[in-house]
Amino acid sequence: MHEMGVAMEICRITEEHVGTDGARLVTGVAVIVGDDAGVEPSSLEFCLETLFAQPPFGGAAVYITRVSGDALRVDYLEVDDGCPCH
Amino acid sequence: MAVRVIDVRERVMAQNDAIAAEVRRRLDDAGVPSLNLMSSPGAGKTLLLERTLADLSSSLRIATIVGDVQTQNDADRLARQTARLVQAVVTGGACHLDARQVSAALDGVDLDDTDLVFVENVGNLVCPASWDLGQTANVVLFAVTEGEDKPLKYPKMFQRSRYAVITKTDLLPYLDFDVRRAIGYLRDVNPDIEILLTSARTGEGLDSWYEILHAHVHAASHIAADAFA
């Protein structure tokens, strides 16, 4: 029920890491969701896709991995630095 | 294209939990316990607090932080029972309180002039269980007008609570609610949970509730005194 709040926190974590790293574009975000995390994975995926449609994400893909237990964390980001020839 | 991977491995709740830890430290330093009351909507959180404030305000300095999705109705009800400030948090749609809201509300509370903090969470048996608020203990309320199997349906809420307060027992003669079955289900999901049977309307079971509150106040003030010594 609070998936949108969780998704917004995932966006904040993503922006923080991208800002530190200096990458130009986020193309994918991988999230680990435990069965007991109190989060419905398909609802979280929907919220993330909605948020990732906005800048600065530009339609990043969402990769959700389900595990047992109550884990809920951002695992890794896929970023694109753009064409090095420009 | 030059795609690469950034390792993150960061817990989504990490920031909330860090703020909750800071809240817990503030309360511990001041020797003030806090109880986070959670339940489905309408289980009787506000009525239990109204009774508690009316009965204990002369002996305990109680601060209350009240969360609701919309309106300050509950905070207004509680304010009529105490001369002390009742902090209303309108979440504007969010289904739970988070540690940042509690921290901001505590900024308006003089902890040196407070014995006990109540947090009345948003009525919801799912989301509030996932958010640490820096509380000393969670209290889940469970009305006899609900099904006995609520603990089985919402196990996380009951597993994370130290106390289960069964409310509205004055209605038992008119209902098919089986108290023994409900207690059995509570123990199935949390064998250590302390169970109280109460009616805020008749006062049944409130003496046990008040004993728990006084025990928390006593324990927290001694911990703070020992740390200061």
B65-96 per-position pLDDT tens digit: 999 888 889 999 999 998 888 989 988 878 88
The tens digit of pLDDT for each residue in B113-141 reads: 999 999 999 999 988 988 999 999 999 99
Contact predicate B129/A38, CB 8 Å? yes
Terminal Cα-to-Cα distance of chain B (whole angstroms): 63
Any domain includes B160: yes
B222 touches chain A (CB under 8 A): no
Any domain includes B129: yes
Q: Please, which pLDDT band fits residue B224 given cuts at 50, 70 and 90?
A: confident
Neighbours of A83 (CB within 10 A): 8
- In this prediction, residues B19-32 reach a mean pLDDT of 97
Report pLDDT for A81.
81
Q: Of A74, A75, A76, A85, which to mutate for an interface test with B (greatest number of B Cβ within 10 Å)?
A: A74
Kindly determine whether residue A78 and residue B3, on different chains, have CB atoms separated by under 8 Å: yes
What span, in angstroms and rounded, lies between the C-alpha atoms of A62 and A50?
11
The tens digit of pLDDT for each residue in A5-47 reads: 899 999 999 999 988 887 778 999 999 999 988 899 999 999 9
3-state secondary structure of B51: helix
Report pLDDT for B229.
63
What span, in angstroms and rounded, lies between the C-alpha atoms of B212 and B209?
5
- Domain residues for the domain of B217 are 15-22+31-228
Any domain includes B9: no
Any domain includes B205: yes
Kindly determine whether residue A72 and residue B11, on different chains, have CB atoms separated by under 8 Å: yes
B92 touches chain A (CB under 8 A): no
Nearest in space to B35 (alpha carbons), one of B140, B155, B114: B140
Q: Please, which pLDDT band fits residue A55 given cuts at 50, 70 and 90?
A: confident
Report pLDDT for A86.
47
Note the CATH architecture for domain A3-80. 2-Layer Sandwich (3.30)
Closest alpha carbon within chain A to B11: A73
Kindly determine whether residue B3 and residue A9, on different chains, have CB atoms separated by under 8 Å: no
Average pLDDT across chain A, whole number: 89
Kindly determine whether residue A72 and residue B12, on different chains, have CB atoms separated by under 8 Å: yes
A72 touches chain B (CB under 8 A): yes
Report pLDDT for A84.
59
Catalogue the long-range contacts made by B17-20 (C-beta closer than 8 Å, 24 or more residues apart): B17/B99, B17/B132, B19/B98, B19/B99, B19/B100, B19/B103, B19/B134, B20/B99, B20/B102, B20/B131, B20/B132, B20/B133, B20/B134
Neighbours of A55 (CB within 10 A): 6
Is-above-0.90 flag for pTM? no
User: Where are the domains positioned within chain A?
Assistant: 3-80
Q: Of A3, A8, A9, which to mutate for an interface test with B (greatest number of B Cβ within 10 Å)?
A: A9
The tens digit of pLDDT for each residue in B29-65 reads: 999 999 999 999 999 999 999 999 999 999 999 999 9
Sheet holding B34-38, edge to edge: B86-90, B62-68, B116-120, B34-38, B137-143, B163-167, B194-197
- CB contacts of B15 in chain A (<8 Å) are 9, 12
Q: What length does chain A have? A: 86
CATH number, domain containing residue B132 = 3.40.50.300
Any domain includes B3: no
- Structurally, chain B folds into a number of domains equal to 1
For the record, the structure tokens of A7 come out as 């998704």
On the question of pLDDT at B15 being above 50, the answer is yes
The tens digit of pLDDT for each residue in B149-204 reads: 999 999 999 999 999 999 999 999 999 999 999 999 999 999 999 999 999 999 99
Any domain includes B87: yes
Report pLDDT for A58.
81
